[in-house]
Amino acid sequence: MTTDEFQIRRGTREDADTVARLWMMNAREHATYDEIYTPTPNAEHMMRRFLRELASSRETCFFVATAGDKVIGFLTGELRGSTPAFVPRTWATVEDVFVHPDWRSRGVGRALVRRCFEWARSTGADGMALQVAAANKRARNFYARLGFREVSVYEALDLYPPRSSERDRTRTPPSGP
């Protein structure tokens, strides 16, 4: 997909470094929604390796939005089957969508999701699915405008309080629900 301002293309192994830096921006933003999203110290390195693998797989999607030679956004996802107890379906599961803040509200996210939709249809997937941070109201409204609907709610219960550092191994479990 191409517009006057940006284009959407398949991500390549060469995009991994730049997209990993964008992913870190995404992770830091998500950590403001909930500490569960706090990245590890080596997260950027891990993401570079992961993105290189994504670029080489047929079961995954990796799309980037570019303006000139600059990557301004990305989307990653994969095909997944449904739980065996449910009617069999194949889902194109969106893992991450991120648009640089300078490029938001200009159609980049919509174009990335549209390209994923096209990919999903080409694979024979039955639908698309994603998770979104509960506190990320902007993203939740965005996905609702695209036709996504809330189907389930992901709940988390910390069994131990967060560590103040990786060296802090003394954690007291909560009393429980």
70: which strand partners? 67
Question: What is the band of 165 on the pLDDT scale with cuts at 50, 70, 90?
Answer: low
pTM confidence score: 0.87
Residue 2 has pLDDT above 80, yes or no: no
CA distance 45 to 37: 17
**38 with 31: CB under 8 angstroms?**
yes
Residue 168 has pLDDT above 60, yes or no: no
Query: What end-to-end distance do the CA atoms of the chain give, in Å?
Result: 49
Residue 167 has pLDDT above 90, yes or no: no
- CA dihedral of 25, 26, 30, 36, whole degrees rounded to 10: -90
List the chain domain ranges.
7-145
Q: Where is pLDDT greater, at 1 or 29?
A: 29
pLDDT of residue 44: 96
Residue 3 has pLDDT above 60, yes or no: yes
pLDDT of residue 138: 94
Which of 40-54, 97-111, 146-160 shows the lowest per-residue confidence on average (mean pLDDT)?
Answer: 146-160
CA distance 15 to 17: 6
5-33 pLDDT tens trace: 999 999 999 999 999 999 999 999 999 99
Long-range interactions of 37-43: CB distance < 8 A, separation 24+: 37/133, 38/162, 41/166
Question: Helix (H, G, I), strand (E, B), or coil: what is residue 133?
Answer: coil
pLDDT of residue 163: 62
Strand-strand pairing, 127-130 and 90-99 = parallel
Collect all residues with Cβ–Cβ distance below 8 Å to 28 and sequence separation of at least 6.
Answer: 39
Return the CATH class of domain 7-145: alpha beta
pLDDT of residue 173: 61
- Helix 16-31 and helix 43-55: axis angle, to 10°? 130
43-95 pLDDT tens trace: 999 999 999 999 988 889 999 999 999 999 999 999 999 888 999 999 999 99
Taking phi first (over 0 means left), then psi (-120 to 50 degrees means alpha), and beta for anything else, what does residue 105 get? left
Q: State residue 95 phi and psi, 5-degree precision.
A: -90, -50
Q: What angle do CA 60, 99, 152 make, to 5 degrees?
A: 60
Q: Where is pLDDT greater, at 172 or 106?
A: 106
